[in-house]
Amino acid sequence: MLSGLVKDQPGLILQTPFLSIDKDNAQVLYVKLDREEHLHAWKNNHVHLGIQYEGRNKMFVDYRLRIGSEVLDSGKAPFGDISTSAGKHLLLWQYPKPSNEKDDEDSGLADAAPHAPPFVWQNLVDSATYVSETHILRISSWPNKHIGLAVKNSISRIDGDGLYLIRMERDYGKYEREEAPTDAARCQEAAANDDQVGLGKC
């Protein structure tokens, strides 16, 4: 069901479904696009806007969509300024599942970053762990880029992993709709006409 959100998207590198180890029936679709312009094209695609509008009330019992671009190790994002508001930076860590780790076990992110400054854990906004058949995905939310980078640079890396700090550009869901498209027809028309002012209101 979730794959319809990125079907036939130009620049698609990866889409992998994961299941939550904490919540029954909760899942994450982890998607990577190859370039910033493909991310913006997907955000403003009229098909995507229509799916999201319908999805708020019909497609999913509950969902949350978070879109963003990677923050470089220097602390700079590829484009634009970096938000410092709460929860606007996500740390995504995907790595191969150890053969001795069960799906319902979670050693905790702190164990993977033993050299992180102690104060960072007091600033953790939220975190969750998800599993696929072959990989584990940890998602944690941090109040700003500096704390996020401190944790990222303290994690003991694993062969074959992927570790990214993401600056959020959109974050919305069934119960958090401030950034969700509110008028599918208007947003779809704006996208079809490349109306950037109109899209900015979607």
Per domain, the residue ranges of the chain are 2-43+64-173
Amino acid 189 reads E
Tell me the HSE value of 179 on the side-chain side, using a 13 A CA sphere.
12
pLDDT in tens, 107-116: 578 888 888 8
Cβ pair 152, 31 in contact under 8 A: no
Element (H, E) at 148: helix 145-152
pLDDT value at position 79? 37
pLDDT of residue 163: 94
What pLDDT is attached to residue 105? 53
Residue 80 has pLDDT above 50, yes or no: no
Q: Which amino acid is at 104?
A: D
Q: Are the C-beta atoms of 36 and 78 separated by less than 8 Å?
A: yes
pLDDT band, residue 152 (cuts 50/70/90)? very high
72 neighbors 149 (Cβ within 8 angstroms): no
Query: Is residue 39 scored above 80 in pLDDT?
Result: no
78: how many CB neighbours lie within 10 A of its CB?
12
**Tell me: the pLDDT tens digits for 95-136?**
998 876 655 555 578 888 888 888 888 899 988 899 998 999
